[in-house]
């Protein structure tokens, strides 16, 4: 796997198209979750987009990384979202590596060393194994049960 981080304006049009098509495939088609996926966080200069590509150069994983200053999901801590791995690439460690890299980058930024996310409730074990701790009861987000989880850099 090859991993590359971009600011929005660093992406060429092909990469931008691949990223948006990937998110649509995973969230809208795969999870049948109709919601407004594109928002102001995508093109904010502080946001980063981490993309995983397989050995053939195909985009197979993605995560959007949002520093604390942007108050993503209303949080005062760093966060990430839109974590997604194509079905054919699952169970190969791509999702875990995207999370590890996102947390490492966020925690290397000045100040804050905590990452707070809204995780799909069924992924609690996945995030716990990556060092996250559940800090809320389940709540509904876009028709899907979520929980808040926190990661603190060691």
pLDDT of 34: 64
R_g of the chain computed on alpha carbons: 15
The count of structural domains within the chain is 1
Per-chain mean pLDDT for the chain: 90
Mean pLDDT value of segment 86-113: 92
Categorize the per-residue pLDDT at 68 as very low, low, confident or very high, splitting at 50, 70 and 90.
very high
- Whether the predicted pLDDT of 10 surpasses 80: yes
Name residue, tokens 């925690």: 107
**Does the pLDDT value for residue 58 go beyond 80?**
yes
Q: Given this model, what pLDDT does residue 36 score? A: 60
Judged by average pLDDT, the poorest of 19-28, 78-87, 88-97 is 19-28
pLDDT at 89: 85
Q: What range defines the domain where residue 73 resides?
A: 2-152
Backbone angles phi, psi at 35, to 5 degrees: -155, 170
Please, are residues 1 and 53 in contact by the beta-carbon 8 Å criterion?
yes
129: which 2 tokens?
């194994």
Say if CB 150 and CB 114 are below 8 A apart.
Answer: yes
Is residue 84's pLDDT more than 80? yes
Tell me the backbone φ, ψ of residue 18, rounded to 5 degrees. Answer: -60, -45
CATH number at residue 37: 3.40.630.30
Q: Does pLDDT of 56 surpass 80? A: yes
User: Model-level pTM?
Assistant: 0.91
15-47 pLDDT tens trace: 999 998 888 887 766 666 666 667 788 999 999
pLDDT tops 90 at residue 122: yes
């Amino acid at each position: 796997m090859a991993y590359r981080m971009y600011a929005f304006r660093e992406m060429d049009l092909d990469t931008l198209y691949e990223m948006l098509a990937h998110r649509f495939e995973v969230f809208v088609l795969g999870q049948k979750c109709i919601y407004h996926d594109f928002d102001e966080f995508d093109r904010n200069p502080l946001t980063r987009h981490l993309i995983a590509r397989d050995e053939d150069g195909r985009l197979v994983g993605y995560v959007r990384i949002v520093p604390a200053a942007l108050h993503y999901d209303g949080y005062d801590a760093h966060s990430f979202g839109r974590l997604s791995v194509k079905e054919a690439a699952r169970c190969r460690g791509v999702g875990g590596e995207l999370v590890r890299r996102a947390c490492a980058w966020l925690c290397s930024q000045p100040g804050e060393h905590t990452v707070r996310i809204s995780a799909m409730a069924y992924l609690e074990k996945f995030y716990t194994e990556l060092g996250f701790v559940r800090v809320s009861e389940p709540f509904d987000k876009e028709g899907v049960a979520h929980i808040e989880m926190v990661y603190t850099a060691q």
